[in-house]
Structure 1
């Protein structure tokens, strides 16, 4: 069985569907290898309907209180997901972490920085609306949950 590198996994999971044909690089994994979002995932809508995303059904809401922004937290046996939507969301500048990797991608037409490092997968949108930014941070309880987190980031949609 072929093992995908972390960088290749990020590229596969975050590729956006395209209607035009795209020339693929030789030996590059086919776009058909991008896992589909499971049909049992549920839609989470941010209060005020600023954005939404899909999550596995085992992620459960955990009450938290934000000070100056919209924050939420969800937990499952494999991960803890939190998001911060506001002026001061983290830009994910953790370059000194073990296994740190970052990549700029487009998600729902917006530029985003996807970061992974040991035990973490996260995405930061530096400009969502007005001065608001969004950071979604996933603490991985299980290493294999990274692929799920990266899939989840693909589902983020802004209103």
Structure 2
């Protein structure tokens, strides 16, 4: 009995600590626009949901497409559409279909900050391999994703 208690106690402490580390966090959850009639109506290629311990109604999202087309680097500010679900956004394709692109998503909610990088190209938006961080990505992070 004592050995079981000694094993369970560290595991329980680890789970409690993990919950505390994520508490108060602010994250961007990327979604499939096909799951939302409103996003489909807006011709969205990706949906973004601001999640975590915050008021989603006050979340702000800025998006930029950074890409290489015919050897030329381009940066295009994107229009982000707020959807009716609080904290939910959609982005339609506003960058050229040719070339390789990285969509930079930067979100703020009061003092909270998070950002994501999402690859996009002729085959669409690669939500599954997006990178997220609570610290700003650098230009070299974007460049590395463009090279992948």
TM-score by length of 1: 0.29
Q: Which structure has the highest strand share of the two? A: 2
Larger radius of gyration: 2
Q: Which structure has the highest helix share of the two? A: 2
